[in-house]
Amino acid sequence: MTCASPKHMTNDKALRHDWTVGEIQTLLEMPLLDLVYEAQSVHRRFQDDTVQLASLLSIKTGGCPEDCGYCPQSAHYAKTTGTAKEPLMAVDDVLEKARIARAAGASRFCMGAAWREVRDGEEFDNVVEMVRGVRAMGMEACVTLGMLKAHQAQRLAEAGLTAYNHNLDTSPEFYNQIITTRCYDERLETLHHVRDAGITVCCGGIIGMGEKNHDRASMLQVLATMNPHPESVPINALVAVKGTPLEKQKPIDPLDLVRMCAVARITMPGARVRLSAGRATLTREAQALCFMAGANSIFYGEKLLTTANNDAEDDRKMIESLGLKITGKVEEAAA
């Protein structure tokens, strides 16, 4: 295979934060085998042969006032999706779920609440206790709670929060086609608060919502020009849920997901590239290509908030069959 290496690959020791949208779109449109080769080369320089298993739990489902066009948890579409508004789960119940995930091999436990923003009070106090409890088990703790203020990020940091997930969803240019109740700059402001508090950033996006290649490149460019890069980059494919405005979107070509993983790996070499929503529709072979392209983390367990996920035992067998190792051994629980 002939592979003309792009100019940016000449100094593989340098982490770049000055990517342009044009450069990234050129990568996305490279011949697939050349792109995967480049991504695997970067992966071998910056990463190892491990895959992190992360478990995701919806701790507060439904009733969200945002109008994200892909989301069945939005109150705007509750009548058509049938997703009921549920209260925040009890702390003990969440920690029991975390113990189950820990026993199944997950080293990161992610908790999602369908809120537009965090509000100070009893519910947030309970989330802080959930974070403390998960960390006491020796697991990494990640939450996604919507927009944060600086003092709230600091409280989560003091509780030991490992990472805060706040996805960009799509490009700045396409964003208002997907959501109108929150602006792009508000997402970036929350990420600044998270970073300033010393919490690692988990931030990625979704493909398959009707965006163009330029939008995919633009979203990745926002991520790749952050300094430092996000420590975790979830790559999601739209799960078109009946009753949402995007229910009739056609499934993406699985190779588009491979391309996104590859370009995320090239532009953000030190990040965990997390193969996330939409994975349940991929064959083992397509998932293997995503791992070859630089993905090295998956969500593990039966659900991703409200949508189905892959069988856990099948995931472990697949990882073993690829000769990869499960990373992030759970630390001994605190005394």
Q: Which two tokens stand for residue 203?
A: 């931030």
The residue from 64, 203, 261, 290 that is catalytic is 64
Tell me if residue 155 is catalytic.
no
Q: Which of 108, 135, 142, 265 is catalytic?
A: 142
Q: Determine which one of 71, 203, 261, 290 is catalytic.
A: 71
Q: Exactly one of 155, 182, 265, 274 is catalytic; which is it?
A: 274
Element of type H or E holding 116: none
Select from 144, 157, 81 the least CA-distant residue to 304.
Answer: 144
**Contact status, residue 212 vs residue 252, Cβ threshold 8 Å:** no
Query: Is position 183 annotated as part of the catalytic site?
Result: no
Told to judge if 71 belongs to the known catalytic residues of this protein, a careful annotator would answer yes
Amino acid 280 reads A
Contact 330, 135 (CB under 8 A): no
Q: Is there a catalytic annotation at residue 102?
A: no
276: how many CB neighbours lie within 10 A of its CB?
Answer: 26
DSSP string covering 247-281, please? TTPPPPPHHHHHHHHHHHHHHSTTSEEEE-TTGGG
Alpha helices in the chain (DSSP H): 21-28, 32-46, 78-81, 91-103, 122-136, 150-158, 184-196, 213-224, 254-267, 284-292, 312-321
**Catalytically annotated residue among 102, 108, 110, 216:** 110
- Active-site entry in 108, 155, 187, 202: 202
Residue 64's beta-bridge partner residues?
74
Candidates 132, 145, 141, 21; CA nearest to 73 is 145
Residue 68 is among the residues annotated as catalytic for this protein: yes
- Please tell me which residue in 68, 203, 261, 290 is annotated as part of the active site: 68
Active site residues: 64, 68, 71, 110, 142, 202, 274
